[in-house]
Amino acid sequence: MADLKSILHSGYQHPVSRSWQAQGRSLTKDMFMYPLFITDDADAEIELTSMPNQRRWGVNKLEGFLGPLVKKGLKSVILFGVPERKPKDVIGTLADDPEGPVISAIKTLRKAFPSLYIACDVCLCEYTSHGHCGILFEDGTIDNMPSIERLAQVAVNYAKAGAHCVAPSDMMDGRIKAIKAGLLKEGLAGRTTLMSYSAKFASGLYGPFRDAVDSTPSFGDRRCYQLPVAARGLARRTIMRDVEEGADIIMVKPGLPYLDIVSEARELAPNHPIAIYQVSGEFAMIHAGAKAGVYELRRMAEETCVSAVRAGATLLLSYFTPEFLDWLDEPYGA
Ligand SMILES: [Zn+2]
C-alpha cells in the first residue's frame, strides 16, 4: 500500500491546481521574441521551404505583416539581415550598410510600431564572402581582435539606428566587452541591451536557418568558435565570462537538447534574464513530427516552450511566436 507521502496526484488533479505547479513563471506573450529575416529587396515576401510559415521579408512588407501580430500582443522581434543584391566582402561591410536591410528595418519598425522592442542579431557570417562569423587570417583561421572590433562597430551602428538590443551570435572571444565599450563611448550603453549568445553550441540544428540567410561557410565549419556539443564546462565559462564582460541577458542556443545548460545558466547568472533560442532545426523538427502524426503541433510546441521556462528561461526566441499569440488566448488541454 502506498504511504501517505507517496500520494502526489492530489496536488494536480484539477486544471487549477495543475496551473499552480508551474515553479516560477508560466508562458506569457511577453516572453516571446520573434526572429525575422529581412532581405534587401524591399518588396520581397519569399517563402522558406525548410521553415514552415516563415518568410524572408522586404522592408516594405513589414508593417502589413507585423501590424496584426502587434495587435495580438507581439512585444519584441529580433532581426537578421539577408543581403542578396550587393556583393559580400571579407569584413562584412554589408552588415551595417546604412541602406542595408537591418538598418532600414530598424528605422521602419521604430516608426511604425513605437512600442515594439527591436533586437538585432550581430554577426558577420550573413555578410562575409567566406561565410564565417569573424575576420580571417590568410590561412582561414579566425583573427579575433579585428573581428571583435568590427562586431562592436556593427553593434554600435544598429544602436545608433534605434535598436533597443544588440545580440552578438558570433562567439568570438571578448566581443561582449568590446561591444559594451563601443556603446559606452558613443553614449549608447545605458539605452541598449546587450544580449549575449553566450552558450552557442556547434549544433546540427542550424541547417534551415543557414538556408534562410544563405550563410553556409564556403570552407571549413564553425567548430573552432561555437561550443562542442559535450562541453558543459566551456559553457559555464562562456556564461560567467559574458556576465563579467557586461552582458545584460545570457542566451543558450539551441534550446531543447541543452536544457541542462539553461538550468546551469540560471544558477551561474541568477540575476540575469536567461534567453533560449528555439532554433530553426527544432522548429522544423516539431513541424515534421506533427506532420508525421507523432503528436499534435500545438501540444509539442507548448511542451518544448514550457520546458524551456521550467529549466530557467525567461525569454524565448521562437518561430512559433505568431501561433503563441493566439494560443495563449485560448488555453487548452490543461
Ligand atoms: Zn555568424
| Gap between the Cα atoms of 86 and 72, Å rounded | 36
- Answer whether residue 288 is part of any domain: no
Residue located via cell numbers 567566406? 130
Q: Is 154 domain-assigned?
A: yes
> What's the rounded Cα separation, in Å, for the pair 90 and 237?
30
Residue at 51 is within a domain: yes
* Structural domain for 204, as ranges: 24-250
CA 225 to centroid of ligand 1, rounded, Å: 10
What is the pLDDT at residue 20? Answer: 66
50 is in an annotated binding site: no
Residues 178/148, Cβ–Cβ less than 8 Å = yes
User: Does this model's pTM top 0.85?
Assistant: yes
DSSP code, position 228: P
Q: Residue 274 falls within a domain, yes or no?
A: no
Q: Which three cell numbers stand for residue 159?
A: 544602436
319 appears as a binding residue in the annotation: yes
Residue 122 included in any domain: yes
| Neighbour-count burial of 144, counting CB atoms closer than 10 A to its CB (0-12 exposed, 13-18 middle, 19+ buried) | middle
Q: How far is the CA of 108 from the centre of ligand 1 (A)?
A: 24
pLDDT in tens, 42-65: 999 999 999 999 999 999 999 999
The domain spanning residue 240 has which CATH number? 3.20.20.70
Mean pLDDT confidence for 129-137: 94
Q: Is residue 229 part of a domain?
A: yes
* 75-125 pLDDT per residue, tens: 999 999 999 999 999 999 999 999 999 999 999 999 999 999 999 999 999
CA of 60 to the centre of ligand 1 (A): 26
Whether residue 125 is annotated as binding a ligand: the answer is yes
Cα(61) to centroid(ligand 1), Å? 25
**How far is the centre of ligand 1, averaged over its atoms, from the C-alpha of 122 (Å)?**
8
Active site residues: 200, 253
- When divided into structural domains, the chain yields a total of 1
Is residue 16 in a domain? no
Position 228 in a domain: yes
Quick one: which of 46, 48, 197 has its CA closest to 119?
197
Output the pLDDT for position 24.
Answer: 65
Worst-scoring range by mean pLDDT, 11-25, 189-203, 256-270, 304-318?
Answer: 11-25
